[in-house]
Structure 1
């Protein structure tokens, strides 16, 4: 695919999300979702292999199902006569459609499979930018199903990746767990989900760029490719921040959500979400333990690496995380 075509489809992906955010009726919102779907499918169709073809077809079927739910919501909203009945049913249908598009449990089985077939850069877009439009639509409506989706997301994200060694699947299940926290923002404090997604994107971008640059897709590859102690420390700081360990900035949005939930008296759900976050932290600790246990036969601090600029960027961002935590807190 030519660079001009890539720029065209990337621009369409960005503009479609802007169209959805600025929509004032359901049909323009549905059009934005369709444009976003077709642009992202064209964007990932760079290489011609069977894995990309499977991921394209999987994404098309899942997103089309979610768009059909949006159309069904529009039809129900116009056909039902009683307003209370129409509002409750249509909001539930719309919420399920957006959960299908986001890969929220119990509609999550496509998300890790598709992540395992994409490269890291396209997977980063799927985990970050492609979540903005469905989350914005979910923020505009409230449903009684939100609490169920919160519990299922944190449980499926925590338990789903325990038996996997593929880093792309582990990151996908961790993203599902983070989705539970973002959905809880909608239920308790609707202004926090944008901040949570922004911080999640800042944490994920250097990690995925480093893994894409070194072609790391499994746990044992991460242990082999981190040759210097500097790389190991930078990678461990990033992963601990993604797991939500204080005092890093990854803990800050979770802390804000916990405070909002405490004010509403949802203590049992807080315990479930925190315990599931500890299980997702186990993913990263399992990889970091094997990485630090490998012996270095010589001091490699002064060795120049080919990805020196990438490591400097990761080191700068990760060193800013504890400082950012204290700046936000005090």
Structure 2
């Protein structure tokens, strides 16, 4: 079968085409024919080595965590899935070096598969894996908030989404709206403001702005309940200015930051504020499954969709152009990078 692999850490140039054998599923495993693969920052960071020296050799690795496709074969003891089922995948590449989605077939444990609802495309299944699960976790960690999302779960809550035109920011806006929250988003340009509005944000504010805290308070006089934060270090001073007492900051990124977070002790102390850091790889299987179920329900309701009309421009590449797809993501293209597996 056709695949793309890397055998050493480095830039997109280390991604090369390969012919790989099609593996048979073992006990508890399922073989999936990949239709669409998606690229996220975690994918090119893994390829780069996350701080490892460029050129460091690694086992032959198929990149990309997210994908969607059709069940091709099931192993012994698998129930709940059958050949022909349409599915999306939960961080597929975390299962092993050979399990990424930049290939025609991958073999995974059945628990990493989620049934794709009727009427929902493979693009959505691939495109909302890592971003959707990250956004779901961010929206369900507040002290006074719900642990699951559904219509009405966030009624009466105000959510501030930092970087509302990013992939996670977009998913957070769409999911928060579906769950009933009032959503305030911050963005860096007018073009991104249009995308955040298309995603469903009630209020969109530009940064940088020395009056940003005041503008947020204008639309949320009592403070926001939850911040979905992509730029923790840069925005640390903003948080206590806009949080309500017992508010939560859900941190998944440090864009434009230094890797070190400095907090105002007194301001956060008197607010009883909570910081919850999150990454999918160690969040726990139960949290991933809960997120996958809620995301699937939102997709089935039509509340979670790709496309510029929903604030997510789509950029398509072929499997042969996987290196170009990684470059596009790494260079910060706005929207979702998808790879069609032929």
- TM-score norm. by structure 1 comes to 0.24
Q: Which has the higher helix share?
A: 1
- TM-score norm. by structure 2 comes to 0.23
